[in-house]
């Protein structure tokens, strides 16, 4: 089937999410990803770190989101060190709005938020066959750190990817 071109790049606003957006975010999550969460989990992450819960809005409709959790614990990048980490938990753009730079803008804004929250690094898990997402993360400075075997419920593997965050820029 031919893809509908939305040309939404210039008419899409990237902004922090509010509680009013959560229902639409959950709907996008169901349409785009096999990993789902309880409604209260979305709300919890929004309340914990609104700076890293970002949505893309086009014509009063949410077309993409990125949701992250701020964690403190062992560094993904440096053995036996502690770090404040921004964990990308869930990230998606509606199919018809992809390939227009919206995902990149969402991720960039979330990374800015992680810096505001004083994170030293960011990390995420991504399916090893998810080339679009892996390319996007690599463009933003993430590196593959490890392969997590049978990480997903369906038995598929994930790459653990991480990026050092420079808070001075
Ligand atoms: C991953 C995802 C959020 C990207 O959103 P998007 O709006 O299409 O991404 P962008 O248009 O901003 O693209 C940014 C970069 O990603 C990479 N990319 C995006 N789509 C790609 C594709 N189909 N093939 C290869 N690379 C791709 C490119 O490096 C691109 O940069 P470029 O345009 O300068 O080459 C989107 O594909 C999606 O929602 N996928 C389903 C859910 C998902 O997999 N989420 C990630 C879970 S870890």
| Domain of residue 28, CATH code | 3.40.630.30
Asked whether residue 153 is assigned to any structural domain, the reply reads no
Asked whether residue 96 is assigned to any structural domain, the reply reads yes
- Residue 94 near ligand 1, beta carbon < 6 Å: no
Instruction: From the CA of 139, give the closest atom in ligand 1.
Output: 29
Asked whether residue 70 is assigned to any structural domain, the reply reads yes
Q: Where does the pLDDT of residue 50 fall: very low under 50, low under 70, confident under 90, or very high at 90 and above?
A: very high
Q: Average of pLDDT values for 30-49?
A: 97
- Helix, strand or coil, per DSSP, at residue 136: helix
Asked whether residue 53 is assigned to any structural domain, the reply reads yes
Asked whether residue 167 is assigned to any structural domain, the reply reads no
Q: Where does the pLDDT of residue 5 fall: very low under 50, low under 70, confident under 90, or very high at 90 and above?
A: low
Inform me whether the pLDDT recorded for 2 exceeds 60: no
Q: Average of pLDDT values for 133-143?
A: 98
- Residue 103 near ligand 1, beta carbon < 6 Å: yes
The number of distinct structural domains making up the chain is 1
**Residue 36 near residue 29 (C-beta atoms within 8 A):** yes
Asked whether residue 33 is assigned to any structural domain, the reply reads yes
Asked whether residue 22 is assigned to any structural domain, the reply reads yes
Any residues with CB less than 8 A from the CB of 144 and at least 6 apart, and which? 134, 159, 160, 161
pLDDT at 6: 63
- Residue 85 near ligand 1, beta carbon < 6 Å: no
Asked whether residue 156 is assigned to any structural domain, the reply reads no
Inform me whether the pLDDT recorded for 72 exceeds 50: yes
Inform me whether the pLDDT recorded for 36 exceeds 80: yes
**Domain membership of residue 28 as a residue range:** 12-123
Which tokens belong to 93?
Answer: 């753009």
Distance from residue 153's CA to the centre of ligand 1 (Å): 23
């Amino acid at each position: 089937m031919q893809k509908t071109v939305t040309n939404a790049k210039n008419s899409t606003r990237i902004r922090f999410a509010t509680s009013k957006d959560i229902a639409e975010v959950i709907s996008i999550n169901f349409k785009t990803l096999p990993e789902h969460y309880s409604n209260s989990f979305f709300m919890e992450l929004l309340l914990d770190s609104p700076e890293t819960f970002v949505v893309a809005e086009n014509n009063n409709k949410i077309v993409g989101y990125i949701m992250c959790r701020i964690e403190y614990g062992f560094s993904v990048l440096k053995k036996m060190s502690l770090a404040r980490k921004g964990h990308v938990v869930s990230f998606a753009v509606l199919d018809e709005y992809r390939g227009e730079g919206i995902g990149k803008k969402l991720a960039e804004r979330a990374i800015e938020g992680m810096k505001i929250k004083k994170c030293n690094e960011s990390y995420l898990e991504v399916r090893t066959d998810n080339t679009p997402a892996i390319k996007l993360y690599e463009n933003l400075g993430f590196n593959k750190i490890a392969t997590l075997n049978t990480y997903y419920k369906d038995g598929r593997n994930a790459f653990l990817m991480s990026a050092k965050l420079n808070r001075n820029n």
